Amino acid sequence: MAGQNQTESFLSFQSLGIDADICAALDSRGITEPFPIQLQAIPVALSGTDVIGQAKTGTGKTLGFGLPLLQSLGTDPAHGVQALVVVPTRELAVQVASDLELASANRSTQVVAIYGGKAYEGQIEALKRGAQVVVGTPGRLIDLSKQKLLDLSQIRFMVLDEADEMLDLGFLPDVEKLFSYTPPKRQTMLFSATMPAAILNLARRYQNRPIHIRIADPDEGKTKRDIKQFVYRAHSMDKDEIVGRILQAEGRGKTIVFVRTKRQSAKLTEELMDRGFLATPLHGDMSQEARERSMAAFRAGKKEILVATEVAARGIDVDDVTHVINYSVPEDEKAYLHRVGRTGRAGKLGVAVTFVDWEDMTRWIHINRELELNTPEPTETYSNSPKLFEDLKIPEGTKGRIGRAPEAKKSPPSQRTSQPRSAAPKREAATQSTPAPRSRTRSRNYKKA
């Protein structure tokens, strides 16, 4: 019994040196046991040492850097920005800021999310009120810094979160510029799922003798072992029916369906709503306000299916996603890992389903080889294939339609609102403005959304 109590004591945030008021805030939301990346990163970060934290997506990196940062600021920090967390996407900025607000609920610390696509006024007002922690995307951070509205000269802690995604999105020059705005004597923490050479070079230039913490299970492979993956060769005209049946699988909870284009996101959302499912889109042609409403409805469970383009969905962190469906094959192995990593988070099990069309085979062969998935020739599968029902535990006799959702009669204005192309996320390609003719064949538009 004594040994058991010792183990329980070790597996707590307080045993890692986190203050009681922060632990109480976490405990109020049922967060009591640290994940491996947190167990190793928190004590090192609390000592003031620079950290490189490497762990797969969905393993708790935010609290790994967030708790030491908040604790080091103190219970009643002086006004003014002292901590900067740089993230690649707007959605992730909102998510990380929310997590830090939760952890600092019993402190006077003020956290503000700074990102584009939203009015400046509220963000500027939060800075004037003395916010100490800023979580933001590179473009808006640089913009406000140049306008002398964001002072980074007193930064004590700087964090790059999802650094590999920032590299993928072309933000490296912006990140370097942000470093130049901060004092050289600061604690720098860099967290990422992968560590490409460019990220390691960044660490060498801007960190001081960092400790590299890498969390990996030796038998885990390149994809997380708590994600059960299925790959089917599916016909484009049958995909919607297959999706409708998968959405009725046993244990199916929140689900993300990844599509290639903005148009597909809107069209498939309408199709699923017409079939009776509570679906909402997420793509670059939606206004920032509409995107936030979609994400809020998805997180709250008011919408249980998110139909998203990859760029729009980067950084989504929702713990209770049970299924991910790749409606089309991702561009490469990195995109595949990013997509399927949206499920199986926080120690929970997940299911990932990928549809491979005939024209996607070359792309799939590359992904399969790089990730060693051992599925070079996906099984040809239809909506009535017994294998589909057996693999995904779909009740016998299930059809891909359960009725007609009330929202399907008329899409909410928030989902029909378009924003100017210049306001879309960085490097997000625009689609044609002319509606496509209604066709049952799959779009061949391979532009990134």
Angstrom distance (rounded) from CA 280 to CA 295: 9
Residue 336 clears pLDDT 50, i.e. is over it: yes
CA atoms within 13 A on the CB side of 10: 9
Chain Cα centroid distance, residue 283: 14
pLDDT at residue number 317 = 73
Task: Flag the least confident range among 102-111, 389-398, 400-409.
Answer: 400-409
Task: Flag the least confident range among 130-144, 215-229, 422-436.
Answer: 422-436
The SS3 call for residue 382 is coil
Task: Flag the least confident range among 80-94, 103-117, 138-152, 310-324.
Answer: 310-324
- Residue 354 bridge partners (DSSP): 231, 326
Angstrom distance (rounded) from CA 141 to CA 139: 6
Task: Flag the least confident range among 67-81, 231-245, 408-422.
Answer: 408-422
Provide the token pair at 137: 């995307």
Read off the pTM. Answer: 0.68
Which carries the bigger pLDDT value, residue 178 or residue 7? 178
Q: Which of 41-50, 196-205, 317-326 has the highest mean pLDDT?
A: 41-50
pLDDT at residue number 89 = 87
Q: Which helix (H) or strand (E) holds 139?
A: helix 138-146
Which carries the bigger pLDDT value, residue 329 or residue 226? 329
Do the Cβ atoms of 45 and 21 come closer than 8 Å?
Answer: no
Domains of the chain, first to last: 2-214 (3.40.50.300), 227-423 (3.40.50.300)
Tens digit of each residue's pLDDT (9 = 90 or more) over 172-199: 899 999 999 999 999 999 998 888 888 8
Residue-wise DSSP of 49-96: --EEEE--TTS-HHHHHHHHHHHHH-SSPPSS--EEEE-SSHHHHHHH
Q: Which helix (H) or strand (E) holds 440?
A: none
Sign of CA dihedral 244, 249, 253, 254: negative
Provide the token pair at 26: 């976490």
